[in-house]
Structure 1
Amino acid sequence: MIGKLKGTVDEIGEDHVVIDVHGVGYVAFCGGRTLAGLGAVGEAAVLLIETYVREDMIRLYGFASAAERDWFRLLQNVQGVGAKVALAVVGVLSPGDLANAVALQDKAMVSRAPGVGPKVAARIVAELKDKAPAFSGAGSDESFGLKREIGEGVAPAPIADAVSALVNLGYSREQAAGAVATAVREGGEGAASTVLIRLGLKALSR
């Protein structure tokens, strides 16, 4: 099984790249984010690979990071999500974006991926909410849990008020939730909403 390719970019297509490894060209199917991050033809490239072997084909899927590959695997545990849909999702959303979407139960964010309708997006955020922290690639389980509470509307009033205030200032709900989660770590769970707003704005300005 192939786990990694290290060579030079030979060709970049709409949904794949050909990596030349010592004269042998390997076709790896990649998401949009991974393809955009590759260099021009002739430049060095490294891809982590997930190899799928079927009776009638062998297909390689390429990823820029282990976290992205882990999400690709995890997404396929959801009913109705195969390799094509999983690749589309990680092609649009980074590991951190996916973790936030699951934490906030934000199916609209997931449905930004081509081929992912509202029903599939809803299943993804619902079925992965207890599995995603280990795959977030950023932040602690504690902050992930807090963002989930915010998304489900069960966070303490000062936290909910701080998120609402940041959203009213023009930040997205995802940005506001992440900033307030950071603010809670710095100011403590008992901090007043005014303190959380101030610390949240500080986090957003970094």
Structure 2
Amino acid sequence: MIGRLRGLIETQGDDTVIVDAGGVGYLVYVSAHTLRKLPQDGGASQLFIETHVREDHIHLFGFFEAEEQECFRMLTTVNGVGNKVGIAILSVLTPAQVMTAIAAQDKNAFRQVSGVGPKLAERIVVELKDKAKGIALVAPTTSKGGKVATGEHAAVSDAISALINLGYNRSDAYTAVQRAAREKGVDKVDDLIRFGLKELAS
């Protein structure tokens, strides 16, 4: 089995790349998230690989980050989420957004993905709920430099927990805090709670 590929990115398609590793060109399926992080044709990179073997084919699925690979593995444990659907989900949602949507039981987050209907979206959030517990990943916000600010992740997570402790349901708390972070640009726990409460009261 192939666990990792390092080589030159020869060709990029809509959801595939060809990686030249040791003179052999490997066709690898990737998400839009991974595709955006790869260098232009001819640049060197590496991918974490999931190898899926069937009687009539061998498919390689590549991930720029290990957390995306772990998220893919988790998603594909759900009946109805095959490899292609798993990649489609990760093309629309980042791993952090997937985990947060599951924790918030936010079915609509998955319904925006092509190939995921209402029944499958519900199955995803229900079947994976326990696996998302205790994971502190949240939908990423960006700092002024454009990079994800990890301190903001913790603040959003803490604010959501605080609203839940005040009696609000997880989905409403998640939506209110995310909107406060996105639209108000706040990144401190107290401010997120304050704006979140205003959002919930409106």
If the length of structure 2 is used for normalisation, what is the TM-score? Answer: 0.73
- 2:179 maps to a residue whose letter is S
For residues 88 and 165 of structure 1, the distance between their equivalents in structure 2, rounded to whole angstroms, comes to 23
Matched, 1:197 2:194: yes
Q: Is contact 1:163–1:173 with CA below 8 Å preserved after alignment?
A: no
Distance 1:135 1:75, change over 3 A: farther
Could you say which residue in structure 2 is the equivalent of 1:190? none
Q: Secondary structure in 1 aligned to 2:130?
A: coil
- 2:80 maps to a residue whose letter is G
Could you say which residue in structure 1 is the equivalent of 2:79? 79
How far apart are 1:63 and its partner, in Å? 0.5
Q: Is contact 1:104–1:148 with CA below 8 Å preserved after alignment?
A: no
Correspondences of 1:1-206 after superposition (within 5 Å): 1-133=1-133, 137=137, 143=157, 147=160, 155-157=165-167, 172=179, 183=189, 196-197=193-194
What is the alpha-carbon root mean square deviation over aligned residues? 3.7
Alignment deviations for residues 119-146 of structure 1 (CA, whole Å, 9 cap, x no partner): 1111111111110246665667xx48x8
> Percent identity among equivalent residues?
38
If the length of structure 1 is used for normalisation, what is the TM-score? Answer: 0.72
How far apart are 1:36 and its partner, in Å? 1.8
Q: How many pairs align?
A: 179
Q: Is contact 1:9–1:45 with CA below 8 Å preserved after alignment?
A: yes
Distance 1:124 1:172, change over 3 A: same
Distance 1:149 1:197, change over 3 A: closer
How far apart are 1:158 and its partner, in Å? 8.4
Q: Is contact 2:180–2:196 with CA below 8 Å preserved after alignment?
A: no
Structure 2 residue runs of 5 or longer lacking an equivalent are 139-152, 198-202
Distance 1:131 1:173, change over 3 A: farther
Q: Secondary structure in 1 aligned to 2:2?
A: coil
- 1:197 maps to a residue whose letter is R
Distance 1:121 1:199, change over 3 A: closer
Could you say which residue in structure 2 is the equivalent of 1:203? none
Q: Secondary structure in 1 aligned to 2:102?
A: helix
For residues 174 and 120 of structure 2, the distance between their equivalents in structure 1, rounded to whole angstroms, comes to 28
